[in-house]
Structure 1
Amino acid sequence: MAPTIFRQGAFRFFFFSREEPRIHVHVTHTDGEAKFWLEPEIELALNQGLSQKQVGEALALVHAHHEEIIHAWHSHFGN
C-alpha cells in the first residue's frame, strides 16, 4: 500500500507501508521519482530521473508541507 499524502502540480507525495522505520517521503513525477529523509533533517535520499530543478521544487514542497507529512506518517504508522 502507498498512501498519497498530497499532490501538487505534477508531483505526488506518498510513502510505502512498512518500507522502513525512518521517517521519509517518496515523490513521483512524470519524469522520475525521489525520496527525502525527514529525520534528523530534511535531505535528499534518492533521485531517479528528476532534474535538479525538479528536485529543488520537490524539496521546497517537502519543507512547505513538513508538518502535514509528519502528521500523515504518524497517523498511518502510529508513533
Structure 2
Amino acid sequence: MPIVFTERGFRFYFYSNEGDPREPPHVHVAKRGAGDAKLWLYPEVRFAGRSGIDARTQRWIIGVVEERRAEIEKAWYEHFGGSD
C-alpha cells in the first residue's frame, strides 16, 4: 500500500491491487478514527465513496487532491507503470 504523502494526519495512498482491469487513476484517503474516502482524479476531482468524513473535511480533502493532483498522478504511473 504505497503512501503518496500525508497531510494533517491523513494518508493519501493507493492499494497495490487496484482491480483487474485496473481502475483509472484515483487516490484513497484515510485517518485512523476519522473515516476514509476514495477520489477520482479525472475528469474532475470527486469522491467515488466516503465514510465517516464530515463536510468541512471533505472540502479540505478535495482541495488538497486538486492542488496535488499532478503529484498523485505521477506517483500512480510510477507505481503501476504506463501512462494511460
Q: TM (normalized to structure 2)?
A: 0.86
Q: 2:17 & 2:42 partners in 1: Cα distance? A: 16
Greater C-alpha Rg:
2
Query: Hey, what does 1:25 align to over in structure 2?
Result: 27
The answer as to 2:9 corresponding to 1:6 is: no
Q: 1:17 & 1:39 partners in 2: Cα distance? A: 20
After the TM superposition, which residues 1-79 of structure 1 pair with which residues of structure 2 at under 5 Å, given as runs?
Answer: 2-19=1-18, 20-30=22-32, 31-79=34-82
Tell me the amino acid that sits aligned with residue 66 of structure 2.
Answer: H
- Stretches of structure 1 lacking an aligned partner (at least 5 in a row): none
Aligned residues: 78
Q: 2:10 & 2:59 partners in 1: Cα distance? A: 12
CA displacement, residues 4-48 of structure 1 (integer Å, 9 cap, x when unaligned): 000011211001013132110000023100110012221111111
Identity of aligned residues (%): 37
Q: TM (normalized to structure 1)?
A: 0.91
Over the residues paired in the alignment, what is the CA RMSD in angstroms?
1.0
Q: Which runs of 4+ in 1 moved over 2 A?
A: none
CA displacement, residues 55-75 of structure 1 (integer Å, 9 cap, x when unaligned): 111111101111100000000
Q: 2:3 & 2:9 partners in 1: Cα distance? A: 13
